[in-house]
Copies of this chain bind each other. A is one copy, B any other.
Amino acid sequence: MVMATIRQRIAGRSLTPGSKLPSIRGLAGTLKVSASTVVEAYERLVAEGTIFSRPGSGFYVASQAAPLSLADIGPKLDRAVDPFWVSRQSLEAGDGDLKPGCGWLPPSWLPEDGIRRALRKLSRAAGPALADYGSPLGLPRLRQLITRRMAERGIEASPDQVMLTESGTQAIDLLCRFLLEAGDTVLVDDPCYFNFQALLRAHRAKIVSVPYTPSGPDVELLGQALAAHRPRLYITNSAIHNPTGATLSPVVAHRVLKLAEQFALTIVEDDIFADFEHTPAPRLAAFDGLDRVIHIGSFSKTLSASARCGFVAARREWIDNLIDLKIATSFGGGRLNAELVLNVLSDGGYRKHMDGLRSRLSRAMFDVTGRLKTLGIVPWIEPQSGMLLWCRLPDGVDAAEVARAALAKNVVLAPGNAFSPSQSATNYMRFNVSQTLDPRIFEVLRQALLEARRSC
């Protein structure tokens, strides 16, 4: 009780960092407990770092009472559907577990032979490739290749506008460090990739969301949100949207950029699913020419998630600041991973592999869609490409309950509200068709749906 009282006063700011706590005798009298009870509570608060003692003077509130816990920031969400649920369950699953909710391909769908060839080639590379730090911008030949690949999607950039990172996520994180102050407002789609929310919480940003339609964000509501909240950034996927699999239309791209100009909005376009496309869809960065749009990419989804490598393409004058931030927070880049990615991409086998992969994904999309429909699970749209399928469950069924029931049977699902800042996707679920081919999944889903219906 003594500890709870002190904690409450600290949380409620009636005791601020550095201020002196009540004397032991005084607090014992106030709370009608023995002095030894107060001594014991103070000692425990010292041990946990909440307060500290100054010999001969008394006890004081430590400079920061509670370390940052992302679980405590923002609205308190049901753990089953918070933005970490899907990632932690997916990442913690064993190599053989069933995880139709996870956001990446099974390793056997990735270019394993190309990676093996690249590793053998690397084992014969010169010393610096094996043992030295990468340069601040990252491997020049890989940055050149990245600009050529961007050009195929209509995005013009020079290699010195491209900085390699350890991942697409690190790229966005560095941009948030560069562009955001704590308390700034950031706009995301509803639904959006759950980790955007987790990342923005880590930056103590305010999150505002705008409903996503099959052709991009709802432009009417986007304009209203910009006028009302003046967000500093908008983080989105364009070509293949996560979790919906939708594709931005040229008309919506134009309108989004007009609004961005009007409201001095900077846009981060996360394009990590680019290689899944059959034909290139519009990119905001292509329309805009890397003026107010920053383009992010990665090789985790189509090449290897084990050899992490991502990049950011932005205005040249921002790159120096991003380099400083990268060095300060992660020092040199991972040269080995960049060399490996370059080897795989330069290998003629990669394009052939991707052609085969796209066909395989189209077939899986068709099969999984059909099987889900027999359970009353209906796709929101039929995606043009990729692995993501955003589905509506039968009426009244809570996806979080279905996900919890499936998890008890070692099947990781991705309930809709993990993606929805407004928590308006209770009835939705994201499937990854490449991870949803095992017949056991549909039996577990069928039973979990039955259980969830019974309880509603």
Contacts and interface: CB of A to CB of B under 8 A. Distances in A.
Interface residues of A, number: 99
A213 to B, nearest CB: 25
A403 interface: no
Contacts of A122: 119
A63 B3 CA distance: 41
Contacts of A335: 305-306
A262 B55 contact: yes
Contacts of A64: 179-181, 184, 232
A329 B205 CA distance: 14
Contacts of A126: 95
Interface string A330-349: 11111111011000000000
Contacts of A182: 182
B68 A178 contact: yes
Given A46-B264, A123-B119, A334-B334, A323 B167 contact: no
A410 to B, nearest CB: 16
A80 B133 CA distance: 22
A242 interface: no
Given A84-B324, A136-B91, A329 B202 contact: yes
B306 A53 contact: no
A304 B87 contact: no
Contact of A195 (B55, B120, B327): B327
Contacts of A334: 166, 306-308, 334, 337
A95 B181 CA distance: 38
Interface in A326-372: 327-337, 339-340
A112 B87 contact: no
A19 to B, nearest CB: 11
A67 B173 contact: no
Given A49-B266, A331-B195, A325 B131 contact: no
A360 to B, nearest CB: 15
Contacts of A51: 264
A367 to B, nearest CB: 22
A200 to B, nearest CB: 9
The 5 closest A-B pairs by CB, nearest first: A52-B264, A107-B127, A198-B328, A119-B123, A107-B131
25 contacts: A50-B264, A62-B264, A63-B232, A67-B321, A68-B178, A68-B180, A84-B324, A88-B136, A91-B134, A92-B135, A92-B136, A104-B133, A107-B127, A107-B130, A107-B131, A112-B131, A130-B304, A130-B306, A133-B306, A166-B330, A169-B329, A195-B327, A195-B328, A201-B328, A336-B336
Interface of A: 17-18, 46, 49-55, 62-64, 67-71, 84, 87-88, 91-92, 95, 104, 107-108, 110, 112, 115-117, 119-120, 122-124, 126-136, 166-167, 169-170, 173, 177-182, 184-185, 195, 198-199, 201-202, 227, 230-232, 262-264, 266, 292, 300, 304-308, 318, 321, 323-325, 327-337, 339-340
